[in-house]
A and B are shown apart, each in its own frame.
Chain A
């Protein structure tokens, strides 16, 4: 195959409810495909479920974004260049494991369960606001973005009087309506806010995630201001647009499948399994999981050479018919827990149980409190983020 014939990544979505055909073709044709990526280099693409899980759990593949072979799918390469503390997402092996374990206690299933009443209050408050406005509202603006924003505030210990500043800026950085500079400015304001917040907590830690980390890391003698600011910012970014987009997309999917929605409403025990299926079905971060081989590794008969970049595409893996029968069918009762929408292996999403709790509370509450909720526009007219690294909706006009 010549370079010119190699498929080019990333591929934009064309149908809101199906992966690009290119992905499906790659998965059907061969286990591994060589592609061209934006910086002109080549990378291997993994599209099958079994291979995806294998690569992501194989420590011979590195997450190090500073390795020259690491494949970036965005123009401009490594977004972490120049940052002062290396982010956890870019670490490997023992270093990664230590960093992750240091904060993991904050994200256990039990810890997240303890946050539920507070998440419920947040969601109820936002739905009260929606109901008081009435008419037609943008669900992205009124619910999808504020939920993760306010939950992160709670977790990080952002003081109540700063909520509006914090939420306003997270909204700006996550929105398309703002020009590039405004988004950058919002990120700058959030970074400096978080740095000040960490400084304040250094003097008076308090009982929140950041405060507890300060106390714990100081006791271990490993505390660093910049590293904690970087962690706070990573949590903010990672938990934001992802959850927001799943709230919007999940709402559309549920409204478009009223029979299945009715089953969930009749039995809240079905919501969690339904969320796993929604995560599989949309796989909103399909193209961001990449690795670089640190030695020669054979995957399904092909040798990946040391230094080669590998992109694991979660979307085709989650639509692999060998694992999920009739993957194009949204089946909220299929039991889709082995999807790779949160990644797999040592880097699997740290905040996944928090995301699950947010989604569960939102869907249960939204459809209970506004049973007549409906789209204000046909699905075909909605503004889906076809080209974005994180798939979702720019706006979601609803009425009831």
Chain B
């Protein structure tokens, strides 16, 4: 599984970071998402799914 982030759509709400700081961070500059680990495994897979669900702008998707 791979996490795809579209920073063009990202509105910087940080919901992904709140869900899993091991997978996501935000740019200091414009607050948009930075994917720290785009190939989560184990428990992090569920977290990635949750982040996709709570992201308010559909900036995140998963390639299964």
Contact = CB atoms under 8 A, between A and B. Distances in A.
A345 B14 contact: no
B11 interface: yes
Contact of A101 (B18, B19, B32, B58): B32
Contacts of B61: none
A104 to B, nearest CB: 3
Q: Describe B's contact surface by its main secondary structure.
A: loop
B54 A101 contact: no
A3 to B, nearest CB: 35
**Size bracket, chain B contacts:** 20 to 34
B12 A100 contact: yes
Given A109-B18, A352-B13, A353-B14, A104 B31 contact: yes
B30 A105 contact: yes
Contact of A105 (B15, B31, B56, B57): B31
Nearest to A107: B31
A108 B54 contact: no
B54 A348 contact: no
Interface residues of A, number: 24
Nearest to B17: A109
A353 B19 CA distance: 12
Given A338-B54, A345-B56, A346-B57, A353 B18 contact: yes
Interface in A42-97: 56-57, 97
Given A101-B30, A101-B31, A102-B30, A108 B12 contact: yes
Given A109-B17, A352-B13, A353-B14, A337 B54 contact: yes
A202 B33 CA distance: 30
Given A105-B30, A107-B12, A110-B26, A57 B58 contact: yes
Interface in A371-393: none
A102 B31 CA distance: 9
* In the complex, the 3 A-B pairs of residues with the closest C-beta atoms, listed nearest first: A104-B31, A101-B30, A104-B12
